[in-house]
Structure 1
Amino acid sequence: MRLFSLAFRHRRAAFFATAFALATGLASAQTAPAYPDKPLRIMVGASPGGGTDILARVLADKLSPALKQPVVVENRPGASNTIAGELTARAPADGATLLLATNTAQAVAPHILKLKYDPLKDLQPLGLVAVMPNVLVVSASSPYRSVKDLLAAMAARPGGFKYASSGIGSTQHVGGEAFNLATGMKSVHVPYKGSSQAHIDIISGEVEMMFDSTSSAMGQIKAGKFRALAVSAPQRSPELPDVPTLAEQGVKGADVSTWYGLYVTAGTPRPAVERLSAELARSLQLPDVQARIKALGGEPGSLIGEPFAAMNRQEFEHYGQLVRAANIKAE
């Protein structure tokens, strides 16, 4: 309920923080030893084609010429995006390994899974890339055309409905359980290794619904393969103006959005962190990057460095409370 508006709070302060990061980062880069001196990789904890992968490739295309090094995207899906997180946390602290993570791995999964790394201590936050509302989708061939239709069918078949997610502890998983909690219904969680694989079963009707991020689902919605029933945010998405929110359809307290942040291995030298933060801030101000993020139904990030780290810590506590309230456990 609060996530989609999270990126807009303290916007004035965030603007000056970004400007400061740009100025200090570029100044440091002029005096520090040459960085980077080898190719970089952006680790992604999801399969190719999903929202995280799309945004990682957008950033790679901008960071590569700016840093004068190849920047490749490496997909390591599984374990609620935490495989990629662990690989980044355990990588040499030389600034060559980045991670595009979501609140799945950074704020939700740590409360559900036993991880071999600490997302808050072993990863250095660089900046918030984007915030995307989640959207409740069904197959375009589904008979359900509203949340009311869906709830009536669920009431007629208690426990007979399934919802897909990109993995245990993902925002799709949390969104599904928040929906169950808010409506008093019970649908069965079906986890996948990524959104793109889940989409296949949604389209076929094997699984009835999914609370996917707009960044992942928008392509299928625009292609006419998904029908969007509700936006899981306080307000409608500008890219889906005809799709009402959950609250508009009588379901309150179930809003869950997905945010994406860029990280580097903790312990990376400060000049490298400042250079990466500065280039990220610059990239996020580019008109084509902003247009791409907005086309996915999201809002470009504006928090760089410590303001983003503070937001991550706040989200970690928030999702811990939600996981406990919904009694979400590893399956």
Structure 2
Amino acid sequence: MKLRTFLGLLGLAASAQLAAPVAWADTYPSRAVRIIVPYGTGGGSDILARQIGARLQTIWGQGVAVDNRAGASGNIGTEAVVRSPADGYTLLLQNSTMVVNPAVAGKLNYDPEKDLTPIMLLGLTPIALAAHQSTNIKNLKDLVEYSKANPTALNYGSCGVGTPQHFVMELVKQKSGVKATNVGYKGCAPALTDVVGGQVQLAILSANLIAPHIKTGKLYGIGVSTASRYQLMPQVPTFEEQGLKPLDFSIWYALMGPAKMPPEVVARIYADVQKVLAEPAIKENLSGAGVEPLSGNGAELSKLIKVDLARYAQLAKSANIKAE
């Protein structure tokens, strides 16, 4: 999906990134930079941080360390960045879980809009719903018919209660009338294991996790959460194509820092990371990992955060989603 399409569907207008004064561009960074990833290794945020960090080391001539601080749905690592000096030497690679947390848990120890400096959007991964092959549920029409005939039979695995994946499935249920009970796992990997093994009939997961099993035929792809089809499984239609409009949700990834970072430092980071994301090798690596690179600026990210905070808050209320 192109950035313009993604942001346009959210009603976000593009805005220009301010150019950095030469003095700051020449002096930053003068020492090592740390990127905190508030999740474990191997996920989309971690992959992006390591790909980008390795290239920034070359561009900047300074060390760029990735620091994984998992826990509390990303809040532990995020709070560490909030408390850090706003000098550009401690950065945060977050994802859209950050805007879901307030909808589920209520007030956090930080304000996603006020306590962080949005630097840029980096990429996105769609969310997809899949069914085990034994169900013979191959699309949304099949799912609706199966649910009507068996209104208490369906269970679906999610990456956890209150995750973006859980929210998307509840929205699908609201719009389609499907009845299915959430089995909230502690992470996407165990939910994937159980749907591939047939322990649950359905699973709503990051689309890159589902794609390999669609190819082998172990899972059927029912729908994708974005307005455009996903590059790793183009044969699977979107939910919007199947009549659930509007439904455009993604796991997005973003680079941020503590509040009140100097605009000149923000602009330098933005410009250099844009260069990294434009490199063919980086594009290929991220695509293989299921992340579609973006390069939206801080103003666009700020608007996206505001929009998604409101969207998830409304959906949490209507679907009665609460923290466990």
What TM-score comes out, normalization by structure 1 length? 0.82
CA contact (8 A) 1:176 1:210 kept: no
CA offsets 1:71-93 (integer angstroms, 9 cap, x no match): 33333444333333223223343
Aligned-residue RMSD, C-alpha:
3.2
Measure how far apart 1:113 and its partner are.
0.8
Residues in 2 aligned to 1:41 and 1:254: alpha-carbon distance in whole angstroms: 32
Q: Superposed, which structure 2 residues align to 1:10-29 within 5 Å?
A: 14=14, 17=16, 20-21=17-18, 23-24=19-20, 28-29=24-25
In structure 2, the residue matched to 1:236 is: 229
CA contact (8 A) 2:132 2:195 kept: yes
The 1:9–1:252 alpha-carbon spacing in structure 2 relative to 1, beyond 3 Å, is closer
Letter in 1 for 2:29: Y
Letter in 1 for 2:58: P
CA contact (8 A) 2:159 2:204 kept: no
Residues in 2 aligned to 1:288 and 1:225: alpha-carbon distance in whole angstroms: 31
In structure 1, the residue matched to 2:103 is: 111
Letter in 2 for 1:44: P
CA contact (8 A) 1:42 1:60 kept: no
1:54 equivalent to 2:47? Answer: yes
Residues in 2 aligned to 1:225 and 1:71: alpha-carbon distance in whole angstroms: 40
Measure how far apart 1:295 and its partner are.
4.5
In structure 2, the residue matched to 1:5 is: 5
Residues in 2 aligned to 1:185 and 1:195: alpha-carbon distance in whole angstroms: 22
Measure how far apart 1:216 and its partner are.
4.2
SS in 2 for 1:247: coil
In structure 1, the residue matched to 2:190 is: 197
Give the count of matched residue pairs. 321
SS in 2 for 1:329: coil
The 1:221–1:49 alpha-carbon spacing in structure 2 relative to 1, beyond 3 Å, is farther
Residues in 1 aligned to 2:302 and 2:5: alpha-carbon distance in whole angstroms: 17
The 1:271–1:113 alpha-carbon spacing in structure 2 relative to 1, beyond 3 Å, is same
Measure how far apart 1:111 and its partner are.
1.7
CA offsets 1:36-94 (integer angstroms, 9 cap, x no match): 4134133133x333333332322222222223333333334443333332232233434
The 1:7–1:113 alpha-carbon spacing in structure 2 relative to 1, beyond 3 Å, is same
Letter in 2 for 1:108: V
The 1:146–1:311 alpha-carbon spacing in structure 2 relative to 1, beyond 3 Å, is closer
Q: Is there any run of 5+ residues in structure 1 with no aligned partner, and where?
A: none
Percentage of matched positions with identical amino acids: 36
Measure how far apart 1:178 and its partner are.
0.4
Q: Of 78, 90, 93, which residue of structure 2 is paired with 1:85? A: 78
Residues in 2 aligned to 1:162 and 1:25: alpha-carbon distance in whole angstroms: 56
Q: Superposed, which structure 2 residues align to 1:1-331 within 5 Å?
A: 5-7=5-7, 14=14, 17=16, 20-21=17-18, 23-24=19-20, 28-30=24-26, 32=27, 34-45=28-39, 47-105=40-98, 107-114=99-106, 115-139=108-132, 143-222=136-215, 226-295=219-288, 299-331=292-324
CA contact (8 A) 1:163 1:208 kept: yes
Measure how far apart 1:298 and its partner are.
5.4
Letter in 1 for 2:34: L
Residues in 2 aligned to 1:210 and 1:120: alpha-carbon distance in whole angstroms: 31
CA offsets 1:3-44 (integer angstroms, 9 cap, x no match): 99333579xx74x83xx55x52766221x4x52413413313
72-81 or 241-250, larger mean C-alpha shift: 72-81
Measure how far apart 1:225 and its partner are.
5.2
Measure how far apart 1:253 and its partner are.
4.1
55-64 or 153-162, larger mean C-alpha shift: 153-162
What TM-score comes out, normalization by structure 2 length? 0.84
Residues in 1 aligned to 2:54 and 2:139: alpha-carbon distance in whole angstroms: 39
CA contact (8 A) 2:37 2:70 kept: no
Residues in 2 aligned to 1:254 and 1:147: alpha-carbon distance in whole angstroms: 14
CA contact (8 A) 2:159 2:185 kept: yes
SS in 2 for 1:121: coil
Q: Is there any run of 5+ residues in structure 2 with no aligned partner, and where?
A: none
